[in-house]
Structure 1
């Protein structure tokens, strides 16, 4: 077991080493901002990495606090399922009722790598490779639909006023 401080240091080292790993990838070398993450240009929609004791995830998350709005945005995104899943041979996991560890309800579209543990340094390169490959693909697919999705969400907002 780790103390709270040891775990904090391990997590910090994990993300620092992931950043170093990414800076060595030709498709990311020299990029000031490597990942969209919260800069998707659509409010309440973010891209995330998560690593834990049993798996690692690359995620597109809809985190609007209003459940009806969150589900409406999820349905809009779902219309582009084929485009979003391009390059993912097994597809993506679509979960409209995901509950985060903190109890917050969100919608998630993600891919998962099982049987990895971020606490095991020897598995870090495997996790990093999974993260980079899948986030590059998901981010690219998302950017292809972002403008039209953003316009549809704006239209939905105008109709509800």
Structure 2
């Protein structure tokens, strides 16, 4: 078993390694980007990456405080689904918000890699190989699609 501090330290080491690995990669528009803390430029729309004890995931989250506007943003994302899947070269899981869940839960589109553990450094290459092409593809998608979201949030 790991202590809370050991878990925190290993995760921090992983994200530092991931950031170093991604640092030389420019955005689709040729500018430097903080890949771990990717800024979409649209409030309430986030690109999220996670690495846990049993999986690594990457996704788009819509977390708007107004459920109606959150739904509008998700519908707009659905309208870009074909473009997203072309950039990603794969299908992802689409999860609309469930009204029965807490108000803080939003809409999500994600892809997960199961069976990896961020606490095992031997899994880091596989996790990085999973996350890297997908965050780059999300950036390429967003370079084309972000303007369709301006003024909606």
TM range (shorter): 0.7 to 0.9
Distance change >3 Å, CA 18–CA 93, structure 1 → 2: same
Distance change >3 Å, CA 87–CA 39, structure 1 → 2: closer
* Structure 1 Cα separation of the partners of residues 81 and 105 of structure 2: 21
Q: CA deviation at 1:88?
A: 3.1
For residues 10-60 of structure 1, give each alpha carbon's deviation from its aligned partner in whole angstroms, at most 9, with x where no partner exists: 11111111112223x5x3499642438452121111111111122111111
Q: Corresponding residue for 1:62?
A: 62
Using the size of structure 2 for normalisation, the TM-score is 0.84
* Structure 2 Cα separation of the partners of residues 28 and 18 of structure 1: 14
Distance change >3 Å, CA 98–CA 52, structure 1 → 2: farther
Aligned-partner SS, 2:126: helix
Choose between structure 1 and 2 for higher RCO, CA contacts under 8 A separated by at least 6 residues.
Answer: 2
* Structure 2 Cα separation of the partners of residues 114 and 128 of structure 1: 13
Matches within 5 A, 1:25-44: 27-28=25-26, 32-35=32-35, 37=37, 39-44=39-44
Unaligned 5+ segments in structure 2 are none
Q: Corresponding residue for 1:96?
A: 96
Q: CA deviation at 1:103?
A: 8.1
